[in-house]
Structure 1
Amino acid sequence: MDNKILTDDDYAKMSSSDLTSKLDTSITKGLTTSEAKQKLQTDGYNVIKKGKQQSGIVAFLKNFTSLMAMLLWVSGVIAILAGTVDLGIAIWAVNIINGLFSFWEEHAAKKATDALSSLLPTYVNVIRNGKSIQINADEIVPGDLLQLQAGNAIPVDGVVVHSASLQVDESALTGESLPVDKDTKYHHGDGKFAISNVVYAGTVVTNGTATVLAVKTGMNTEFGKIASLTQNQKATVSPLTKELNRLTRQISIIAFAIGITFFILAIYFVHYPLAKSFIFALGMIVAFIPEGLLPTVTLSLAHGTQVMAKKHALLKDLDSVETLGETNVICSDKTGTLTQNQMTVNHVWLPDKEYNVTGTGYFNNGKIQFNGKDVDLSNEKDLALLLNIALLNNDTSIKYDPDDKKAPSILGTPTEAGLNILTDKAGLKKDDSAEKNPRLKELPFDANRRRMTTIQKDPENGEDVIYTKGGLDNILSICNRILVNGQVRPITEDDKKKINKANADYAKNGLRSLAFAYRDNDTDDPNKATVDNTEKNLVFVGLAVMSDPPREEIFDAVKKCHSADIKIIMVTGDSSLTAKSIAVQIGITSDKARVITGEELSAMSDDQLQEAVKGEVIFARVAPEDKYRIVSMCQKNGNVVAATGDGVNDAPALKKANIGIAMGVNGTDVAKDAADMILTDDNFASIVAAIEEGRTVYSNIQKFLLYILNSNMAEAFPSILFLISNGAIPLPLTVMEILTVDLGTDLLPALGLGTEKSEPGIMDQPPRPRDSHLLNKGIIAKAFGWYGLFASIISTGAYFFANYQHGWPHVPLFASGNIYAEATTMTLAAIGFCQIAAVLNCRTRVTSLFKIGIFSNHRIMWGIAFQIVLITLLIYVPFLQSVFGTYSIGVSDWIYLIAIPIPLVLLDELRKYFVRRHIHNKINKRMGHLQKLEKIL
């Protein structure tokens, strides 16, 4: 039978002789060099292959072939056909610059993600030819014997053939932070990866040593299988891409419809020649295409990625910025994302006293406090004894600086690290204590006893002392005495009930207890100590109670999510009790939330799961395929889903989600490769900040549309006058001047809108509905019926004002000459000054411009300055006058122009005031109804 079809369970149940026979190896000498080379040829290198990557040229060209980009290419062609070659080339230049900018931003993001740390080790010790040698991990083959110790990453799936106190961190596969005991005896616990004598690629040895027989390598490992599943999962198209494509189609239809209409009207109403009507219509088509849309979108997204990077969120794809803003469900891990991934002691329980311990966080300075007070341990003998046991019965070393916010370096288990922090901050120094109380003997922790015992020298009384710690049940079973208020007496059943009740109460709150016991050593030679003659007749001392505390920022982040109608679903590998306790504590759910375990979820149909995720729900003890299903069912309910993860098991769900979010500190390469966003601080609060920025980006794109459409209205209105007057009113704006507005005066202020900061209250609103669009009725009404209407009236008024100064209406309107050029120049300049007001008004939806500061967006200010300088140059530079058909204007004309922005800004401030008042009244009305309802109830 081919070994590739054997399961981990099959290998785990085999005897040593069967294993060596199946894998053609020796359980003591390993493979020979020649055997290893032959297997390398047949089984391949021990590498996790990445999914198909886009070639450089394809990745480059995609930035120039979006639907909007194609429309701009066509617009350039139309401009050239209309006789405006320079403007056609300018449109193409805008497209090229935007494509290069977009490519560079995504390339920079990819380089940043590629620079993140790798998971699998480079070298590993193996036994070949009966000798221990070091080889590249890529060259490991099935049948190799690996020698592992604490701190080693495991590069293969293998069976443990020898072990001593082996513990493995399997969080990359299971999501559970606590280390798992491993030994040579077969036992299959709960869960897919719960085989006691099998270790998996992508996991890490946290304690002990082991010799492991490699049975699966590369893509055949569980790590590799999940990576393969991830690579086969197609990435979803971002909502922004879909929306931009839709917007492009809308604009194309509108532009061409207007062009055809104007072509027909020019022929039949104005009696223009066919060729002249065609050029006129082509100019109108190009005028109605927002050439600045792509640069504005790209700049908004790029600016968003820069803001997010400062807030510890690294985006791999620019479109992902906007998708975040649409997110209404977050499927989040618990450990390390919602919590600190640091086991911290927060209670010490003694039979006669309970201590609430504060200040035990890794980054807290100073001493800890017990029940809010500093404690002199010389007066608290029982507490001092428990802390001494925790200090000396401890194999973990930890390097940390309370002033350094980086995660400490831990060699050992998180539980013992938490005990180290506790004792260190209580004033006990490990090196000093170890020197005074040297360790004489250790009985290592193993999975069956679930205890660890050390024998220490006690210099004070000259005798040896036995210290034991472990799970409560495992400690109580070997205790016949109890320490109460400094006195040792026999333990009673009532004592045990009291201890068990305290432990159960802590467990209900998601806390984990570790029990401590001791006695004097009665063995003459500590080296003769065994489990049987040492771990008996102990004195029970008490419990150290610990948890992985929530991150400090998580509470505000969760409140923001609730205000923004964003649902959080905890999906964790931890127990249901712990998961629910944390979820309730930080406010994700109420205590009425339904907890669904991985086992229960497996028995549910898709329809049942789809219904379950609509309510308050927490998922615990999940398997890899479970998380994928949860995300899928949330999406089937019409949600935009962000999913977090750090392990290999999370990768398929990250790929499936609308936004996959990987952990940059503790995440695996597979998870990072599958994700759209990487958190450089593994912090849930960074996700919320990124969502806020995503909403801002979408809002800014809509502000641009509003801004650009109102100038289109002002550009079209003079042409409408020309048509409905049958040519009696000469064109108040030439085609060249229309295109000057689109590509000249409008562009830089519009780009400034793309970098506008979040408007106050943006996270107090629900995510926009899935069926909402960038171009909606509200924007159209405001652009054409408010901003555009005023701009049309004012700019057309400028045209007649210029003619009035030259004798109109007593003399006819001229269709050529200096007076006509001056009049069209005034129309062009008036549109420009209307746009100055419009860009300021478009900066906020309802918030007062004066509240955010008129000059707070420097890009807009520079854009306005450029706009004024450009208009001035067009008016007075002879060369530009000849190209654009402009003419010099006088002082009275400038007074007219300068006066334009002030009333427009004040009018919009008045409108925003009434909108704010309306919103405020609605909120007050709603609160009044709620208060009445509360009284009735």
Structure 2
Amino acid sequence: EQQQWWLEQARALAAQGLRVLAFACAPHHQSPDHPLDEQVLLGLMAQLDPARPEVIKAIATCKHAGIRPVMITGDHPLTAKAIGSGIGLCEPDGQVVLGRELEAANDEKLRELVMQCSVYARVPPEQKLRIVKALQANGQVVAMTGDGVNDAPALKQAHIGVAMGITGTEVSKEAADMVLLDDNFATIVSAVEEGRLVYANIRRFVKYILGSNVGELITIASAPLLGLVGVPLTPLQILWMNLVTDGVPALALALEPGEKGLMDRAPAEPGESIFARGIGRYILRVGVIFALIVIALMFYAARHDAPWETMVFTTLCLAQMGHALSARSDLPLFQVPPFSNPWLIWAVLLTSGLQLLLLYVPWLSNFFGTTALSGHDLLICVGFSFLFFLYLELEKIWKQWRQKVAAHS
């Protein structure tokens, strides 16, 4: 009866998220080599190792981002459940799997188990490796954290092994792919957000560069086919567009800050192409629309005996400035903070100013083979360029409206 009382006390303390130690002594212990028989329980000691305040928010962010955090500990299952529910990892009545259950489960059963449970208790180190392998067998991308020597096999097996920089052993650091210098779980979540931002900016860069280049390619190829005498762009003008008109705004797009819902999106599929999720279709669609607008300008200028080559060159360059601004976000531009990326604004102003210099500074005009446009012709170029920008924004508004309709239906 007394033993049962002590067990109940220990369980009550563990259920509060405390780690419980039992102290005992052997009054008649003869020597260190003598077996410890007839020990007398002196009492229990409970200690609290609280989670950092930022962990709760980090766990919630992970769940919104489609990332499932899992806790593997050697603590008592009641302690693990209390800590897990306290940080939002599981429900107060959620499932906790013990290490002995993992040992008894075969590989097929374990694969089912790891997809349902997020808290493991009393887990020996060798079972951590089995958990990682079971998650990978289910097609999951696994990041594993650890600090001990026994964690090294699991860290090595995981897609991304993360060792603790402060408390971690040298063996764990050597086995890991990354070392967490502050031993803070929230830092991992911040790294995920930063990685998503880099990937999103790469996609913006590709959308802008290739969408514009497809339009330029169609425009240049169409002039001889349409019966126009001469070519729209000289090699030097093409080089100018590739290095300056394309390059400067594209570099500024790489500095675009993260959008508000960046961590609310589902993770990218492993091995996903950079052209996935509509990027390839966007490049072709926008390239064709871009070319059609410029070809329309080409016909208009040629029929009115205007310097159509220079007008095509100018329209291509100015229209890409609108494309760069629109490529900042999948949201309509009026829903994006206008000065969140000042580098892009400066890049657009600088590139537009340089383009005007090519038209109106005589020695630059002679060098690049351009003609000084009249105010009327320049306004026509600006108008056609704005028409392309308007199409890009209307397409985003239409897409957003369709998504709202689909959500309410």
Which TM-score tier does this pair reach, normalised by the shorter chain? 0.7 to 0.9
Alignment correspondent of 1:766 = 266
Report the residue type matching 1:829 in the other structure: T
Residue 687 of structure 1 is matched in structure 2 by 188
Tell me whether 1:593 sits opposite 2:95 in the alignment. yes
2:209–2:246 contact (8 Å) kept in structure 1: yes
Which residue identity lines up with residue 700 of structure 1 in the other structure?
A: N
Asked if 1:648 is matched to 2:133, the reply is no
Q: 1:917 to 1:545 in 2, by over 3 A?
A: farther
Q: Please point out which of 651, 662, 685 is paired with 2:163.
A: 662
Match of 1:868 among 338, 352, 358: 352
1:889 partner SS: coil
**Does the C-alpha gap of structure 1 residues 894 and 691 become closer, same or farther in structure 2, counting only changes over 3 Å?**
same
Aligned-residue identity in percent: 39
Structure 2 counterpart of 1:857 = 341
Q: Distance in 2 between matches of 1:882 and 1:657?
A: 61
For these two proteins, the number of residue pairs brought into alignment is 394
2:339 is aligned with 1:832: no
The letter of the residue matching 2:322 is A
Q: Give deviations 1:673-725, integer Å, cap 9, x for gaps.
A: 33333323222122112212211211111111111122112212223323533
- Corresponding position: 1:511 with 2:25: no
User: 1: distance between equivalents of 2:255 and 2:304?
Assistant: 41
Question: Judging changes above 3 Å, is the alpha-carbon distance between structure 1 residues 806 and 922 closer, same or farther for their aligned structure 2 residues?
Answer: closer
| Partners of 2:249 and 2:324 within 8 A in 1 | yes
Q: Which amino acid aligns with 2:369?
A: G
Separation in 2, partners of 1:705, 1:714: 14
Q: What 5-or-longer segments of structure 1 have no aligned partner?
A: 1-492, 517-529, 533-537, 808-821, 926-937
Q: Please point out which of 173, 177, 182 is paired with 1:676.
A: 177
| 1:788 to 2:287 alignment | yes
Cα deviation for residue 745 of structure 1 reads: 0.9
CA 1:678–1:922 in structure 2 vs 1: closer, same or farther (change >3 Å)?
farther
Name the structure 1 match of 2:246.
Answer: 746
Unaligned runs of 5+ in 2: 29-39
What residue number does 1:38 align with? none
Give the 5 Å matches for 1:67-466.
none
Q: What secondary structure, in the 3-state scheme, does the structure 2 residue paired with 1:588 have?
A: coil
Matching residue's letter, 2:119: I
Partner Cα distance (1:673, 1:801) in 2 = 67
Secondary structure at 1:568 match in 2:
coil
Structure 1 residues 608 and 781: alpha-carbon distance in aligned structure 2, compared to 1, 3 A threshold: same
* Structure 1 segment 475-554 matched on structure 2, within 5 A: 501-513=8-20, 545-554=46-55
Q: Secondary structure at the match of 1:687?
A: helix
Match of 1:634 in 2: 135
Deviation at 1:640, TM superposition (A): 1.8
2:377 maps to which of 893, 917, 920: 893
Map Cα deviations across residues 373-413 of structure 1 (whole Å, 9 max, x no partner): xxxxxxxxxxxxxxxxxxxxxxxxxxxxxxxxxxxxxxxxx
* Aligned counterparts of 2:318 and 2:154: Cα–Cα separation in 1: 51
1:581 deviates by 2.7
Cα distance change, pair 511–669 in 1 and its aligned pair in 2 (3 A) = same
Q: TM-score, normalised by structure 1?
A: 0.39
- The separation in 2 between residues aligned to 1:500 and 1:623, in whole angstroms, is 23
Amino acid at match of 2:265: Q
- 1:841 to partner: Cα distance: 1.0
Within the candidate set 733, 736, 740, 2:236 is matched to 736
User: Partner letter of residue 90 of structure 2?
Assistant: T
Residues 158-207 of structure 1: CA deviation (Å, up to 9, x unaligned): xxxxxxxxxxxxxxxxxxxxxxxxxxxxxxxxxxxxxxxxxxxxxxxxxx
Deviation at 1:666, TM superposition (A): 1.8
Secondary structure, counterpart of 2:278 in structure 1 = helix
State how far apart, in whole Å, the 2-side matches of 1:828 and 1:596 are.
70
Residues 596 and 617 of structure 1 are in contact (CA less than 8 Å); yes or no, is this contact kept in structure 2? no
Query: Higher Cα Rg: structure 1 or 2?
Result: 1
**C-alpha contact 1:576 1:620 (8 A) present in aligned 2:** yes
Residue in structure 1 matching 2:70, options 569, 577, 585: 569
Contact conserved, 2:163 with 2:176, CA < 8 A, in 1? Answer: yes
CA contact (8 A) 1:732 1:796 kept: no
Distance in 1 between residues matched to 2:188 and 2:252, nearest whole Å = 25
Deviations, residues 65-121 of structure 1 (Å, cap 9, x unaligned): xxxxxxxxxxxxxxxxxxxxxxxxxxxxxxxxxxxxxxxxxxxxxxxxxxxxxxxxx
Distance 1:765 1:922 in 2: 18
Q: Does 2:402 correspond to 1:918?
A: yes
Q: How does 1:771-850 map to 2 (within 5 A)?
A: 772-776=272-276, 778-785=278-285, 787-806=286-305, 822-846=307-331, 848-850=332-334
Cross-structure match for 2:33 = none
Name the structure with the higher strand share. Answer: 1
> In the aligned structure 1, how far is the partner of 2:121 from the partner of 2:336?
45
Question: Amino acid of the residue matched to residue 576 of structure 1?
Answer: P
Indicate conservation of the 8 Å contact 1:719/1:733, yes or no.
Answer: yes
Q: CA deviation at 1:885?
A: 3.2
The residue matched to 1:644 in structure 2 has which SS?
A: strand
Residue 924 (structure 1) shift: 4.2
* Distance of 1:502 and 1:689 partners within structure 2: 40
**C-alpha distance in structure 1 between counterparts of 2:113 and 2:4, whole Å:** 38
Residue 644 of structure 1 contacts residue 654 of structure 1 at CA under 8 Å; is this kept in 2? yes
* Residue type of the alignment partner of 1:512: R
1:918-937 correspondence to structure 2 within 5 Å: 918-925=402-409
CA contact (8 A) 1:718 1:733 kept: no
1:609 aligned to which of 91, 95, 110: 110
Per-residue CA deviation, residues 232-273 of structure 1 (Å, 9 max, x unaligned), is xxxxxxxxxxxxxxxxxxxxxxxxxxxxxxxxxxxxxxxxxx
Match in the other structure for 2:203: 702
Deviations 1:771-796 (A, max 9, x none): 532113612322232x3344223323
1:19 is matched with none
Q: 1:723 to 1:897 in 2, by over 3 A?
A: closer
CA displacement at 1:515 relative to structure 2: 8.4
Read off the aligned partner of 1:708 and give its amino acid letter.
I
Supply the RMSD in Å over aligned alpha carbons.
3.2
* SS in structure 2 at match of 1:567: coil
